[in-house]
Structure formats: structure tokens, C-alpha cells
Structure 1
Amino acid sequence: MTDHVQLNPGASSWRWCGHDTSKASASSAVLDFHRTLPSYGRTPLHSLSALAAELGLGRVMLKDESDRFGLPSFKILGASYGVFRAVADKLDIPVTDHSPSLELLGSEARSHGLTLVTCTEGNWGRAVARMAKHLGIPTKIFVPSFMPVTTQALIRREGAELVVVNGNYDDGVAAAKQEAANDGSLLVMDFGWEGYEIIPQWVVDGYSTMLNESDEQVVEHTATHSVTHAFVPVGVGSIAQAVTQHFKDSRRTTGHAKVITVEPTTAASLKTSLESGTMSSIPTEDTIMCGMNCGTVSTTAWPILEDGVDASVIVTDVEAHQAVQDLKTLGVDAGPCGAATLAALRRAVLDKGDELGLNQNSVVVLYCTEGPREYEIPKITSSG
């Protein structure tokens, strides 16, 4: 029988010390940048008191990223900042407080004929295309062949050129890399590999806005309580890296939360890597949690996740779908990737609640990274 929860005992005492003087104020600089984008506003943090009572927990709260800058995902936070920094770097334009403006950066990018290229399972590509639209520059986006036509249409609606690859996500990444190498386009991806690590780190930096918002909102909800457990989806690992760095930062004065990640049973690249003790690429299968259908963890994320993730949880499509329905009854509309954190919480409480310290003193934050979308409802089988 598959063990759905992999514990990482050494993570409880591990602290992230990767910051330096320049990074100490990085999150405020990122927030200042995001405030320059159209329609900036904090996303809500919902208090799920009925769920907390059901599971025997002190508090359960959910950070709802179903509407961020008018897009149904947190991805625009990393995409906007990552593209901004990458374009400025490509054009040798220094980035300082409030400079360059989007208008200036876009004008310079257009004058140099700059084009962006990326690969996506959906939300990332749409977010990159939205940022490219703000800058007024073209984008070519490679997508796997199994992407629903409705998702393809949403990306095209942002003004991007879409290229459907006869293969999976990893095949699309290879095609995007080749495109950038052939014509000099600027490759903007949210995960790293050897030789490609700076832009993915800027993407991770972009997610600090969501985390700083949720810190403020937890205080508003609880007055004095610090977060004890944070649940986050993995995918390629960038958002999980951001959450782990945030809650394991040695400078934190409000306590260090346990970080629990979630992946589909069909794409458990992080859990596999944690079990083996080395970063491992795995074959994946289709899942309704398509934003997490990734077979390789980012090289920039892996060292942080290996040391700092307290538990890795895998959930089935049936569990993710049930979590979507459960959240709907609680007044929260989410897609399967976002609702997967609730599925992971249920699984963690059931299988490893005592080991993880999930009890009446717990203050849990679920990072719900995706708004509602169409998907094929999974069939319940005897195996779950």
C-alpha cells in the first residue's frame, strides 16, 4: 500500500539563512513593484472555523488566490516580477526603487524587438502573456498536447502565440529552450536547471507578496497566534520554495511553521526525491491537478525543499475533487490544484497527525493557488 505522507524529521530544526543585506528589503521592493500593476489588491484569507472543528484543529485559514490581478491564480505574482527583472536585465537597464517604469521598460523592449518564450501547463503561460501585454511585446508559449482547448483559448486571449507540442510538459520545455536558442528570444520559466537559475529565483521572489499579505491577515484574524503549519502545492517547486524560505527564515520573529507540500499521486516528483535523497525526474500521468503535472523539481527549489519541507503528501484526483466540493460548501470556489491543500490536510491529520503536531493548538494556513475551472470529474474506484 502506498504511503501517502513522507515525513522529513530534520526539517523541524532547519532554518533558511540564504538572505543577505540586499535581500533583507527585497520583499518590500517586490510589493512596491506589484502595486504599480493595474488592479493590485490583497487577496482574501478565509477563516474555516467549521473545518477546524471537524478536524480537531485550533484554526484553519485559507489564502484564496482565485482572483489575483484579474487572473485565477497566484502565478501572475511570480510571472510579473520575473519578466520585469528578466527584461530589464536583458536590456542592461538598472532596477532601482520605482525604476524603470512599465512604460519605459516596454518601450525599450519593443525598440530592441524583444520576444518572450515559455512553456506552460496553463496558469503560468497566461500570466506571462498578461505581463507581456502590459509591456506591449510578443510572447510565444509552448503547451503540451493534452491541454484542454478551453485553457488554450484563455492563453490566446491574452495575445500570445500558442504552439501545441506533441508530447508532455517536459517536451514543451525542451521545445521552448530550442526556440530561445534559435532566435534569441528571452526564455522566461518558473523553474531552474543547471545554467538557468537567476530568472526562476526572481519568480520565487515575486511570491513574497502573497506570503507577506497572509502574515498580516493571520494577525488580523487571530490577534496573537502565529502559523504552525503551512500547506502548499508543489508543481515544479517554485511556490513551495517561496513558502519554505518564508516560514523557515532564520530572521522570523513570529515562529517557524511546519511546511507540508502536496502533489498528485501521478506526479510525485518531490516525494520521490525526498524518499531517495536525491533530485529525481519521474514519468507522470494525467491528472485533474494539471498545474502540478510536473516530473522534475526545479534545481533552485530542490536544496530548500530537501532541507526545509517537514512532510510531503500525495493525493488522488478523487481526493482533490472532493476537496473542491468541500470548499464550495464553505463558500470558497477553487480548482483542483488549489483545493489539493485541503485534501493534503485531511490526509496528514489522518495518517500522521500526531507526528506533525496537528492538534487543538494548531494554526494552519492552506495556500489555495487556483480558482475554479472545468475538469473531468474523476470516477471513484475500489482503490480510491
Structure 2
Amino acid sequence: MLIANPKATRQAYPEALRQIMSVEKANESRQWLSQWSRLNASATPLYALPDLAAELGVAQVLVKDESQRSVLGSFKALGAPIALVRLILRTFPEQHFSARDLLEGKHADALADFTVISATDGNHGRALAAAAQSMGCRCNIVLHANVSVEREEAIAAYGATIVRITGNYDESVEEAAALAAANDWTVVSDTSYEGYEVIPRDVMQGYGTISAEVIEALQADAPVTHVFLQGGVGGLAAGIASYLWEQYGAQRPVFVMVEPAQADCLYQSAVQGRAAKATGSVDSVMAGLACGETSPLAWRFLENSVDFFMTIEDDEAVAAMRRLAAGSTRDIPLVAGESGVAGLAGLMHVVGGKGLAADLGINADSRVLVVNTEGATAPGVYAGLLGESDVSVLRRQEAWLGALHTDKDFLAMR
């Protein structure tokens, strides 16, 4: 399903939104993140896939590869540590902590009894656990029934205490809030709810790093015309779109929101004109996007900036995973997790649908950006879906790079 958003506008970034999230704050977050040892020092690659672009009939397909952000394997490494740093600075102003010292663990003794908690589908919890371990505070993570044991073990490896429930993601959010209230812990969530917006704002602000790096990589090249973004609760999309909206104003790209048909909370928000709940089972192979309720805070940024909302099926995500993994003569093979490919799957759906590309203004001159938000964060799941391990794909990627491709259309970070 695909709908145009009647509330989408072409105007300068509103001052009311800038007071909440801004390029200035995003750049500050980026500078702080550069001091965390668990993030790679360089920006993640921005790859052009010219053969895929030719297949889809567009001028360029650009993939921002967040699988290479850190050992944590996903874009979530940009959100949780920033939120935790800002939380600690607000909670202990008398200590005069610095972001650098916190990320380097220099105040671990002072934070030994400070406890945070969050619900997660996997990646946010892993990033929060790693950040808490780096800073020396305690971390509890609530997992719902559909989170794999593989993802649970990856989170526990960073010292987090795991709490399992039998419900879905939204019920795990409720459980985390209840446990926090009962034990005087602090929730560090990437979704907002009534009375809880400051920390989700900080999480989203960290995601602005992705947009900043894209702009820097393009340099003098023309800006992208379309950006296909994953759904979930809306935090990633809000962080990326708000930055690009502020940067380009009325000339911003066309934003297209993509989410699983079973977890269509953002699509339903567009239909109803307010932050809404999903109508499906909220059970998708795209585990990181299997969210039933839109973040109200994220929706404030999305309701006027996203031009189109659409849903895709699970098999479309798997097909996109396979296409990225396969690569081609001119396209580097990429490891992209099941949630990481949603934007590309949405683009492939639109191009393959009768008249849909024209409806979105996609043509031979379009330059389309998608974000691979995760690698094989659950290697067993990845191998099961593709019939090939992420290690095998990475070997082919290494061989491709070793062939010294010099095609002018190949775009690496510069």
C-alpha cells in the first residue's frame, strides 16, 4: 500500500521544531560520539550502485552503509550513547562530568549505582548495554517474545541484565516503564510517550550524524532527490529527515516512509492525521521495524516532512537483502539485515508497481538515497533467510574491493 501525505509541506524548517532538534545539536552529538572507542573513527561508507540504478531506471542509487558503524552492527550505536551521556549530565550537574570522560569510563565509580532500563527489538538494547558498560552504570533490557536468543546473547555480552516477557514490543515498553517506576531506574528508550520525550529526542538527535555524513560525502554533487527511510516508531526517520529538512529547506528531498505491512503504525498515522497504532499482527521478519505504536515525538517531525507512506511484505525485504548481497560487476556486495533493507525494498516495490514511480516523481534523473541500517546483527537469522552466511558475503565484498574498481560512478566516502 502507498499513500501521499496531504500534510506534507515545502517550507523552511519550522522554528518550533528547531527548538527540539537542530543541525547544531546534531553536530554536537556527532562530535561527542567521535570520542567513543566503540564507534569506528571514520564515517560509514556511502556507496553508489550503478548496475542497480540501471535496473531500476534511475540516475543513481546511493546506499549509506550503517553496518560498518561499529562492532555493534547498526545505526543504533549513534542514539543510545548520546542519550545516556545527556541523561547523566542532566542528572549529576554538580559533578561537572564531560562527555569525553563519561565515554572513556572515567567516572565509573561514581555511576556504579546508577541504573538504566529499556525495551528493545535488539539493536537499541545492544547499543545501550554497550554504552552503559563503557560508562560504568548498570543496564537492564526488556525483551519480548519475538526477539531471538541470538540477539539476547549479543546484548547480554555487554553486561546487561535481561528481562523476558511473553508479549510483543509495545508490551515490553510498558514493562520497562513499570520496572523503572518500581525500582527508581531511568528508562532510556528510543520511543516517546506521554510525559516522556527528552530522552527519545536525544536518541533521535544522534541519528543526525547519518545526514551530516551524507552531505559531506556528496560535497559538490547534486543533492539526492528521494530518500527512502525505514519506519519502526519513526525515530530514525525523524533524525535523518529533520537534519536534511533544516539543511535544504523547501528544496529538501522527497521523503518516503517504508514499513512492514504487519506493523503499519506510521502509515496509519498518515491516514488518521495523528500518531496512531498499527492494524496488523506486528510480527515481521523485519524485527527492528515490528513496532505497533508511532512515537508521538517523532510524528511531530514526520507529519509535515514525509511525502509518501508505504508498506511492504516480508518477502520483498528478503529479495532486497539478496540483491545487495549478490552485488554485480559495478555494485559492491553488501551485508544488509532484514530491517536494514526496508528502504531499498520500498524503492524496488515502487519501481515495479504500475504508475507508482511516476506518482513519486521517480524517473531517469532521480538520485535515490537508502540507508542500510544494520548488518547481520543476528547471523543465524541472516543465513537462514539468504542461504548464505554474512561471512561469505563479506569475502565476496573483499574480493570485489580487491579488484580495484575504478568506475567513476562508484562513490566511496571522500
Give the structure-2-normalised TM-score.
0.84
- Structure 1 residue 155: Cα displacement: 0.8
Residue 343 (structure 2) aligned to one of 319, 323, 341:
341
Change (3 A) 1:101 1:279: closer
1:363-374 alignment, distance < 5 Å: 363-372=367-376, 373=378, 374=380
1:157-236 alignment, distance < 5 Å: 157-219=157-219, 223-236=220-233
- Structure 1 residue 264: Cα displacement: 0.5
Does structure 2 retain, via aligned residues, the 8 Å contact 1:313–1:348? no
Residue in structure 2 matched with residue 26 of structure 1 by the alignment: 25
Change (3 A) 1:197 1:281: same
The sequence identity of aligned pairs, in percent, is 31
- Structure 1 residue 15: Cα displacement: 4.0
- Structure 1 residue 20: Cα displacement: 4.8
Does structure 1 retain, via aligned residues, the 8 Å contact 2:78–2:207? yes
Tell me which moved more, 78-87 or 275-284: 275-284
Residue in structure 2 matched with residue 37 of structure 1 by the alignment: 36
CA RMSD, Structure 1 to Structure 2 (Å)? 2.2
Residue in structure 2 matched with residue 353 of structure 1 by the alignment: 357
Residue segments in structure 2 that go unaligned for 5+ positions in a row: 328-332, 387-414
Does structure 1 retain, via aligned residues, the 8 Å contact 2:318–2:385? yes
- Structure 1 residue 265: Cα displacement: 0.7
Does structure 2 retain, via aligned residues, the 8 Å contact 1:115–1:139? yes
- Structure 1 residue 105: Cα displacement: 4.5
Residue segments in structure 1 that go unaligned for 5+ positions in a row: 379-384
1:260-309 superposed Cα distances (whole Å, 9 cap, x missing partner): 11100110110011112222223533211000000001110112211111
1:29-178 alignment, distance < 5 Å: 29-38=28-37, 39-92=40-93, 101-102=102-103, 103-110=105-112, 113-178=113-178
Match of 2:72, SS state, is coil
- Supply the distance in 1 between the matched residues of 2:283 and 2:221 (Cα, whole angstroms): 43
- Supply the distance in 1 between the matched residues of 2:107 and 2:69 (Cα, whole angstroms): 23
- Structure 1 residue 14: Cα displacement: 4.3
Does structure 1 retain, via aligned residues, the 8 Å contact 2:23–2:243? no
The code of the aligned residue for 1:173 comes to: V
Match of 1:118, SS state, is strand
Give the structure-1-normalised TM-score.
0.91
Residue in structure 1 matched with residue 262 of structure 2 by the alignment: 266
- Supply the distance in 2 between the matched residues of 1:226 and 1:121 (Cα, whole angstroms): 33
The code of the aligned residue for 1:106 comes to: A
Change (3 A) 1:93 1:294: farther
Residue in structure 2 matched with residue 240 of structure 1 by the alignment: 237
Change (3 A) 1:316 1:34: same
- Structure 1 residue 31: Cα displacement: 1.6
The code of the aligned residue for 1:188 comes to: V
Match of 2:42, SS state, is coil
Tell me which moved more, 175-184 or 15-24: 15-24
The code of the aligned residue for 1:367 comes to: V
Does structure 1 retain, via aligned residues, the 8 Å contact 2:275–2:295? no
Aligned length: 369
Change (3 A) 1:21 1:81: closer
1:174-195 superposed Cα distances (whole Å, 9 cap, x missing partner): 1110111011111100011110
- Structure 1 residue 70: Cα displacement: 1.2
The code of the aligned residue for 1:323 comes to: A
The code of the aligned residue for 2:276 comes to: S
Change (3 A) 1:356 1:84: same
